[in-house]
Amino acid sequence: MLRSVTAARYVEPLHTGGSVPGVVEADDLGTYVVKFTGSAQGRKALVAEVIVGELARELGLRVPELVLVRFDPSIAAGEPHQEVRDLLDASAGLNLGMDYLSGGADFTPEVAEVFPVDPGEAGRVVWLDALTVNVDRTVHSSNLMVWPTLGIAPPRLWLIDHGAALVFHHRWGASPPEKAYDFRHHALGHSAPDVRAADAELAPKVTRELLHEVVARVPEVWLTREAGFGTPDEVRNAYVGYLHARVRASHDWLPTGFPTRDELAAENAARAARTRRGRPDWLKRVPDLHGKPPAEQDWSVHLG
């Protein structure tokens, strides 16, 4: 099972994601980013976080430690935003925390220029995402971090935020295990990911035994409301069965044919042009602030 801690101080909400996680200090003196059961994504997002994060860890990829966080909403009574307070009030009890990588840098295209990822590591990350149907690690939202960034130790790539993975569990039986998905716009697609080498290395490791170990780390309370299943054990077996069948069918879904940086830039430019053509005349004269690149930063200062 995952280690359990008790939230001692609510620090602040994070508005960068739709689930509005919060930074929390716990009784073990650790600081965690907590995803709450009361969020709009619900408990299935937390189930996905545990299964995919722990599977990644077992396969040798870097994922911040996951812990179960006992949360009492009274510690956040001073939160000024009503919507956030409502979320916290709905999340009393067991929630999921991820070790807070203080000072980490989001893996953006700008960071990628000074922090190249080798094809082997890129291939393993893409392979994991394809296996677990993680559709939320794109060039627009990588859910990857580079940490540490201050020269204390060599910077490494860390995987975060897997709540959007395992899309099959939102409609059990609707997606066959061999189904392929479009991963051409994966955040590491421009790193020439060697997914075939990753498949040869990782597929034999994803056994039924390993999957049972990983799925057993999901708290039973998050599985008791699953429609179509009688017991939490039936739900666990469904996850194990689907993922084991999917890994055995990897030749059907193995992603290949990633576009180059130039091809991605051309696709994005064409998409922006189509968007502007669809605007009314008066709006075409308004600058497209969202289409501008972020302010340039010298990431080499942080990443060496």
The answer to whether residues 10 and 88 touch, using CB atoms and an 8 Å cutoff, is: yes
In this structure, are 83 and 209 located in the same domain? no
Domain ends where: 49, 78, 99?
99
- Residue 292 inside a domain? The answer is no
Domain ends where: 99, 133, 156?
99
- Residue 46 inside a domain? The answer is yes
β 93-99/22-26 pair status: unpaired
In this structure, are 13 and 149 located in the same domain? no
Half-sphere exposure of 203 (CA within 13 A, CB side): 19
In this structure, are 84 and 35 located in the same domain? yes
Crossing angle for the helix pair 43-58 and 208-215, to the nearest 10 degrees: 130
* Per-residue pLDDT, 16: 75
β 3-13/156-159 pair status: unpaired
In this structure, are 67 and 132 located in the same domain? no
- Residue 168 inside a domain? The answer is yes
* Per-residue pLDDT, 303: 55
Give, for all 304 residues of the chain, the pLDDT tens digit.
Answer: 899 999 999 999 998 767 899 999 999 999 999 999 999 999 999 999 999 999 999 999 999 999 999 999 999 999 999 999 999 999 999 999 999 999 999 999 899 999 999 999 999 999 999 999 999 999 889 999 999 987 778 999 999 999 999 999 999 999 999 999 999 999 999 999 999 999 999 999 999 999 999 999 999 999 988 889 999 999 999 999 999 999 999 999 999 988 877 887 788 788 788 877 766 654 454 444 344 444 444 544 445 5
In this structure, are 133 and 225 located in the same domain? yes
In this structure, are 248 and 121 located in the same domain? yes
In this structure, are 117 and 181 located in the same domain? yes
Cβ atoms within 10 Å, residue 198 = 25
* Per-residue pLDDT, 266: 85
In this structure, are 110 and 240 located in the same domain? yes
Name the pTM for this structure.
0.88
* Per-residue pLDDT, 15: 84
In this structure, are 52 and 173 located in the same domain? no
In this structure, are 45 and 137 located in the same domain? no
- Residue 148 inside a domain? The answer is yes
β 66-71/3-13 pair status: parallel
* Per-residue pLDDT, 148: 92
The count of structural domains within the chain is 2
In this structure, are 37 and 167 located in the same domain? no
- Residue 157 inside a domain? The answer is yes
Q: Quote the tokens at residue 121.
A: 């590591």
Domain ends where: 83, 99, 115?
99
* Per-residue pLDDT, 287: 45
In this structure, are 95 and 112 located in the same domain? no
Q: What is the extent of the structural domain holding 10? A: 3-99
* Per-residue pLDDT, 281: 59
